[in-house]
Homo-oligomer: A and B are copies of this chain.
Amino acid sequence: VKMLQQSVDSSNIGFTPLVVVELASDTKEEAITWLLSRIRDKQQNGGNGDGFFSMAECQYIIKHELDTLRAQDETHVPGHTQAKLYPGKSIIRRLQSKGILVQIFPLHEQEELKRLSFSWYKKVKLSLQPLDAIRHYFGEGQALYFGFLEYFTFALVPMALIGVPYYLFDWEDYDKYVIFAAFNLLWCTLILEFWKRCSASLAFRWGTLSRKKAFEEPRPGFHGVLGFNPVTGREEPLYPNTKRQLRIYLVSLPFVLLCLYMSLYIMMIYFQMEGWALSVHNEDPTLWTGILLFIPSIIYAVIIEIMNLLYRVAAELLTEWENHRLESSYQNHLVLKVLVVTYLLLATLLITSQILNQIMEAFLPYWLQRRRNKKMIRKVQTKRIMEEKELPLEEQVRLEADMSTYLGTFDDYLELFLLFGYVSLFSCVYPLAAVLVVLNNITEVYSDSFKMCRVFKRPFSDPAASIGVWQIAFEAMSVIAVVTNCALIGMSPQVKAYFPESEIQLILWTVAIEHALLAFKFILAFLIPDVPKHIQIKLARLEFESLEALKKKVTLCSLTSLSQSLIPGRRNILQVTLYIINVWVLENTVCKNSKIKQK
């Protein structure tokens, strides 16, 4: 492997290398020269950011610059005629798709990594995670994930504390049951609302809360005809929204619905198999028929797992093909596709659990744990060496290039989402669910942090203001939890005993209470502000100060003359001016009327 180590090559002139760009061994010399000149073209004489940016921020900027490197009039990569280019095509992406560029990754900083890992996972401790340090090293997206993991674990503690006595003592008591369900509901709503506030506080501290989506650059995979962005006026690829909508509604949506239908169909087959196994077992119960009882569930679990993997690949391809302009929009559509199927998976778990019962109780956390650990142990054994001694830079680059790539927080969040669903849907039936998830989460903090620091290549930092679409996913789950919990309680024999003669009464009451709970939940979510008051004030002051700065520049008189010279577009100008003078006017009344009165 031949490497174009932009940074390493010049390691003797005394600056810290940030990002490695690995090219294939058969790359032509002229392609390298061209790429370097294109990268340098973009650079202009800016200020000097020394000490102002963290290393992760610098790496992010380099990544961004590389991602937005787009072909202008080149028809192909010099020296590689098979790598076609057209105006607006992302150069890096074409190089990657043609195998010329093997990978781009930021380098670890050994010193900082040691400090971070020591304060993070190296010692068993009771203190919180060093979120600011994590953010400084890995960026906001990672830090928010670990913040959420920690918050979620703490939030589960009350549920766990209540769950233990429920499990230990007999809980065949109707009142207790309802109290537990009501607590569960309140808990779901409150933790999600308060997480929004926590997340806003963190994002404010890290300076990402006010990020403007509209100014976001298009994601590297985005392609289209080169044109001018209507907001910023910059040259970038444009892709008509209607075309994307057509792809979503005519291809992706039918595909997802087909998959849902297939899943339901397989579930039905599973139920038939299980019914058959049960009838065999009931006719003549032996050890073998007892084992037979589990076979449908096992086959079903295996099929579901395989189908899930296939579906995941298809979902990623489809979402990529939908050609979303923004990374956030891409994420939203991917998460949506994956989650509709995940909901079904959880619903299946709920139904199958009637049979798997106590086994299931520990199954999900264990299963997730096992999957993760297996991968990790394999990796670590080969990489152990790294931690031991200080390596020369070239050696370090070579080592890190071989480490596997961290594919983003998607799978981590999906796992947390499953656990959240497990607790919120099942904890009425299995009071120990919360305890198990807390234990799982504690090990998860350690294993995830170890994974980030030692197993994977350093990921590029990604500035994030919140956990994004996952907040909505978790909230949707908490709504489903209300419905499910109410149905579970309604079906329980204890509650049924209260309505001995009329099942209709029971159902109507259950539905009425469920509606009241849902209404209460929405009102609660509406009443709790998403951003803490003191941060709202700070943001408002920030905006106020921006407007004040503008006011000093733009005088009303010039605006008046401007608006009069542009009578046909007067309202558009007024839009601008009213926005600016909103505050200005109210301070210094400028009406002709008042001036005359003063005389």
Q: Say whether A578 contacts B13, CB under 8 Å.
A: no
**Contact A241/B596 with A217-B586, A507-B507, A540-B214 known, Cβ cut-off 8 Å:** no
With an 8 A cutoff between CB atoms, is A65 at the interface?
A: yes
Q: Are B230 and A598 in contact (CB under 8 A)?
A: no
Chain B residue with the shortest CB-CB distance to A594 = B43
Contact at B214–A543, with CB atoms within 8 Å?
A: yes
User: Which residues in B have their C-beta under 8 angstroms from that of A44?
Assistant: 587-589
CA distance A549 to B563 in the complex (A): 19
In the assembled complex, A102 has its CB within 8 A of some CB on chain B: no
Residues of B within 8 A of A588 (CB): 44-47
Please report which residues of chain A, range 549-563, place their CB below 8 angstroms from some CB of chain B when the two chains form the complex: 549-550, 553-557, 559-560, 563
From B13, B52, B555, A47 is in contact (CB under 8 Å) with B555
Check: A104 CB closer than 8 A to any chain B CB.
no
A321 at the interface (CB under 8 A from B): no
Q: Is A354 an interface residue (CB 8 A)?
A: no
A516-574 residues with Cβ-Cβ distance < 8 A to B are: 533, 536-538, 540-547, 549-550, 553-557, 559-560, 563-564, 571-572, 574
List chain B residues, Cβ under 8 A from A576: 542, 545
Given contacts A42-B589, A46-B590, A231-B541, contact A533 B241 (CB under 8 A): yes
**Quick one: closest B residue to A68, CB to CB?**
B586
Beta-carbon contact of A48 and B592 below 8 Å: yes
- What is the CB-to-nearest-CB distance from A151 to chain B, in angstroms, rounded to a whole number? 20
Q: Is A371 an interface residue (CB 8 A)?
A: no
Per a CB cutoff under 8 Å, which of B53, B206, B550 touches A571?
B206
A582 vs chain B, min Cβ distance (A): 7
- When A515-B483, A555-B47, A560-B52 are in contact, do A594 and B62 touch as well, CB less than 8 Å? yes
A591 within 8 A of B: yes
Interfacial residues of chain A within 15-59, with CB under 8 A of chain B in the complex = 15-16, 18, 40, 42-53, 58
CB of A378 closer than 8 Å to a CB of B:
no
Report the minimum CB–CB distance from A73 to chain B (whole Å).
22
A575 at the interface (CB under 8 A from B): yes
A359 close to B (CB within 8 Å): no
| Closest residue of B by beta carbon distance from A52 | B560
Instruction: State how many angstroms separate the Cβ of A72 from the closest Cβ of chain B.
Output: 17
A565 → B minimal CB distance (Å):
12
A585 within 8 A of B: yes
Q: Are A215 and B504 in contact (CB under 8 A)?
A: no
- Confirm or deny: A499 has a beta carbon within 8 angstroms of a beta carbon on chain B: no
User: Which residues of the partner chain B approach A593 to less than 8 Å between Cβ atoms?
Assistant: 7, 15-16, 18, 58, 62
Question: Does A64 sit within 8 A of B, measured CB to CB?
Answer: yes
User: Closest CB-CB distance, A417 to chain B, in whole Å?
Assistant: 18
Do B503 and A563 touch across chains, with their CB atoms under 8 A apart?
A: no
The CA of A208 and the CA of B46, in the complex, are separated in Å by 38
Do B546 and A62 have beta carbons less than 8 Å apart? no
Q: How far is the CA of A81 from the CA of B363 in the complex (A)?
A: 80
Task: Offer 19 A-B interface pairs, CB within 8 angstroms, sorted by A.
Answer: A43-B594, A43-B595, A43-B597, A48-B590, A48-B592, A49-B591, A49-B592, A51-B564, A52-B560, A53-B591, A58-B591, A62-B593, A207-B577, A209-B575, A212-B544, A214-B536, A215-B540, A542-B579, A546-B579
Which residues on A are within 8 Å of B, measured CB to CB? 6-7, 10, 13, 15-16, 18, 40, 42-53, 58, 61-62, 64-65, 68, 204-212, 214-215, 217, 230-232, 241, 483, 503-504, 507-508, 511, 515, 533, 536-538, 540-547, 549-550, 553-557, 559-560, 563-564, 571-572, 574-580, 582-583, 585-598
Q: A44-B587, A48-B557, A232-B544 are in contact. List 7 more A-B contacts (CB 8 A).
A: A10-B596, A46-B588, A46-B595, A65-B589, A230-B537, A232-B583, A538-B575
